[in-house]
Structure 1
Amino acid sequence: MKLAIVGGGSTYTPELIDGFARLRDSLPIGELVLIDPVADRLELIGALARRIFAKQGHPATVRTSTALDAGVAGADAVLLQLRVGGQAARGQDETWPLECGCVGQETTGAGGLAKALRTVPVVLEIAERVRRANQAAWIVDFTNPVGIVTRALQTAGHRAVGLCNVAIGFQRKFAAHLQVAPELIRLDHVGLNHLTWERGVTLLDAPGATTGREVLPELLTGFGTEIADDLHLPLPLIRRLGVVPSYYLRYYYQHDAVVAELREQGSRAAQVAEIERELLRLYADPALDTKPELLSRRGGAFYSEAAVQLIAALLGTGGGADIQVVNTRNDGVLPFLPDDAVIEVPAAVDATGVRPLPQRPVEPLFAGLIAAVTAYEQLALEAALKGGRDRVFDALLCHPLVGQIELAEQLTDALIAHNKPYLSWI
């Protein structure tokens, strides 16, 4: 089979390559194409990918291409991992909202909206060209904001599913706490991308089993301090809620404290840029044939395992239906949301597609925030597709992290000022 990675010159890519090499029995790739417009960086990553495959005895051919159409031609699945505007744009997303007293973050709030406006048009153009190359190809989106981008792709009729590493990260951490294999942990994971709660954790009787016992109370009792420290949330809150929130809930539950921290610490983009510079230096070493330890500080932990599991199931090489947490169309699973909303829940995934599993009623404390952010995502998508200052303002006014007229006005002006090169309607 042939896989293509759009954004293959990313410093993330060796994480994927390592997973493809280790898990080749699940996903037997014959050809892998890395696609990126930055030729020198692409060749650097491509050479490392070939060395990693060679070291682990993977027989696949690794090609690089700066030409999208040629790269995706005949691909069975295409992974999207773009950053329109690069780390420089991310740095702005994390800075100007802080100047207005709001969280500066690249996937939520005003910064997340800016990223969506830059990204959605580019992704849709790429997807159309993928469809022309192979209508049967699956598009797996890892590009943030995943929920909005996936909704754009699905609304346009593409065979697309969104992927995030938050759920697999919780699975691995819970398994480590309980000293069991990760395959024995199944999550009751519900919400939207970067807005989720683990309402239950089942320890399965065997891998793939449908029976097991609930262990979330045991985790909160025995490992509550570790979980709270990892999330940077107060332990009493987690115990009061009786769930494990995604660490992105900090932006909502402790907004002002996070703003103060971000102002003191500086942007994550600056830290990532420094890590990337060092990673690229390491990647240039012709003796390097494994992913370096430094890559773990770049983010995206367990991304490769999640990607392999998902693609293997979609392409029918994973041995039947698999239950995985993905971003996909709601279709009544959460009845308080529109059918075309994209939710992040466990789903049955196989060669016939993605089917989100039924969910028990969502508690009002969580459902209210889910509904509000879904409304924002709908307005954000309209702004990305149609443009216009009023649509940007509406999306910001709707967002729970903004919600005030004067603040939405300030943020709208700042967003437009910092993103003019990427907004065709200006």
Structure 2
Amino acid sequence: MRLAMLGGGGFRTPLVFGALLTDTHERRVDEVWLHDVDEGRLASIGRVLSEMSARHPDPPRVHVTTSLDEAVEGSDFVFSAIRVGGLEGRTADERVALDLGLLGQETTGPGGLSYGLRTVPVALRVAERVAALAPEAWVINFTNPAGMITEAMQAVLGNRVVGICDSPIGLGRRAAAALGLDPRGTTVDYVGLNHLGWLRGVTSGGRDVLPELLADDGLLGSLEEGSLFGTEWVRTLGMIPNEYLYYYYFTRDAVRSITGAPQTRGEYLLDQQRDFYARLAGARSAHAEWDRVRLERNATYMREARGEDEQRGEDDVQGGGYEGVALAIMAAISRGEPASLILDVRNGSTVAGLPEDAVVEVPCTVDAAGPRPLPVSPLVGHPLGLVQQVKAVERLVIEASLTGSERLAVEAFALHPLVDSVTVARELLAGYRARIPEVDAVFRR
């Protein structure tokens, strides 16, 4: 099978390639096309993959190209992991909001809306080229904001686009492990949007064991989310929030922590990756250098939400997850190996209170026909209201990006629950247009 990886010069590409190397099935990916607009990064990541390939008897053939059409044409699967505006754009996403006293974060809040505004047109162009050159391909979207971008691409490719994220996977895995259970033997009740969902149940042996976790101080406190939100708040909710809900439940704390830090997350990663790509040229082992930086990167994830001396658990530092999900999706569709996964898919009637064509993040079964969302119990109370509000904002961003409407963009910013003023919404849009050329271009078409 042929796989195209868009954003193939990105830092996470070796994670996906490593997962491919573990696949020994006769019907596996044997040809990988890496596409990126940065030739230097393509060459660097190509070197890491070359070292990984040298350790395996029959690795996939790897090609690199800056031509989108060359990468996509004839592909069976397309992974999209693009970053429009680069990490420089991410730092602006953060700083423009922080300068106005608001949360500056890549996907949550105004920074995520800025990211979506400039990414939607590029993602749609990708979808159109896939439709023209690989109409039978499945697109697996890693690009953030994952739910919004998946929804935009589905307007062209329908259900052949599925979004994935490692965050709910990690939550389910940690909850099962805290209870001493094998995650593979459990099923989870999880529902929401990308970076905005709740774990409401963990079933093992035919019964829900989540109440046991919530009732045990030691077990709940050992869970990363228990530490992040505090055991009292998790018990108050009666369910375990996705880690990104920290930015909604502890907004002022997050803003204070990020503002007081010497760097934002984007600025840290920008410096780290510049250093990584520069050091790679003189490194004896490209893969060893990549792995060192990967562990450092994972260890500092969501640092603003932890105490000064609080460290991430070793399993979380090791990371991984979404690359395995991507492999499981391909195996289910191409080889009929059914899988149960939490994915970003078209809602249909799954989550009551949301439009049928909205993309939601829920447990799914996946087989040769693709993913099908499993029934979930309704969202009620504040989770339903929050999900409805954020989904309405996401859809405004998509429309604003497609039409170039400043009015709709201001409306999207103003209606987001983490933005507290229409005046500030206008200032946000002006700030992002001034700092990020790709955002400004949306309104100059």
TM-score class, shorter-chain normalisation, is: over 0.9
The correspondence of residues 100-111 of structure 1 with structure 2, limited to 5 A, is 100-111=100-111
By how many angstroms is 1:137 displaced?
0.4
Aligned residue number for residue 208 of structure 1: none
CA contact (8 A) 1:104 1:110 kept: yes
**2:238 matches 1:214:** no
Aligned residue number for residue 150 of structure 2: 150
Which digits, 9 at most, give the CA deviation of each residue in 1:29-79, with x for residues without a partner? 110111112112101211221221231334321111111111111110000
The correspondence of residues 137-216 of structure 1 with structure 2, limited to 5 A, is 137-158=137-158, 159-203=160-204, 205=205, 212-216=206-210
Q: Partner of 2:54: helix, strand, or coil? A: helix
- Which residue identity is paired with 1:98? L
Q: Partner of 2:157: helix, strand, or coil? A: coil
Q: 2:323 aligns with which of 299, 304, 308?
A: 304
- Which residue identity is paired with 1:199? R
By how many angstroms is 1:407 displaced?
2.1
Distance 1:381 1:413, change over 3 A: same
Separation (CA, whole Å) in 1 of partners of 2:370 and 2:49: 29
**2:378 matches 1:361:** yes
Aligned residue number for residue 87 of structure 1: 87
By how many angstroms is 1:183 displaced?
1.3
Instruction: Structure 2 unaligned segments of length 5 or more: list them.
Output: 299-318
- Which residue identity is paired with 1:171? G
CA contact (8 A) 1:45 1:283 kept: no
Which digits, 9 at most, give the CA deviation of each residue in 1:201-224, with x for residues without a partner? 123x5xxxxxx3322122222421
Distance 1:165 1:287, change over 3 A: same
Distance 1:325 1:27, change over 3 A: farther
| TM-score normalised by structure 2 residue count | 0.89
Separation (CA, whole Å) in 2 of partners of 1:157 and 1:31: 23
Which digits, 9 at most, give the CA deviation of each residue in 1:333-357, with x for residues without a partner? 1120111111000111112122111
The correspondence of residues 378-417 of structure 1 with structure 2, limited to 5 A, is 378-417=395-434
Q: Partner of 2:331: helix, strand, or coil? A: helix
Greater CA drift, 36-45 or 300-309: 300-309
| TM-score normalised by structure 1 residue count | 0.92
Q: 1:327 aligns with which of 336, 344, 365?
A: 344
The correspondence of residues 7-406 of structure 1 with structure 2, limited to 5 A, is 7-25=7-25, 28-158=28-158, 159-203=160-204, 205=205, 212-220=206-214, 221=216, 222-227=218-223, 232-265=228-261, 266-280=263-277, 283-284=280-281, 285=283, 287-289=285-287, 292-299=291-298, 301-315=320-334, 317=335, 319=337, 321-406=338-423
Instruction: Structure 1 unaligned segments of length 5 or more: list them.
Output: 206-211
Q: Partner of 2:29: helix, strand, or coil? A: coil
Distance 1:58 1:289, change over 3 A: farther
By how many angstroms is 1:182 displaced?
2.8
Distance 1:227 1:107, change over 3 A: same
Separation (CA, whole Å) in 2 of partners of 1:8 and 1:163: 17
CA contact (8 A) 1:276 1:298 kept: no
Separation (CA, whole Å) in 2 of partners of 1:351 and 1:18: 24
Give the superposed CA RMSD: 2.0
Q: Partner of 2:121: helix, strand, or coil? A: helix
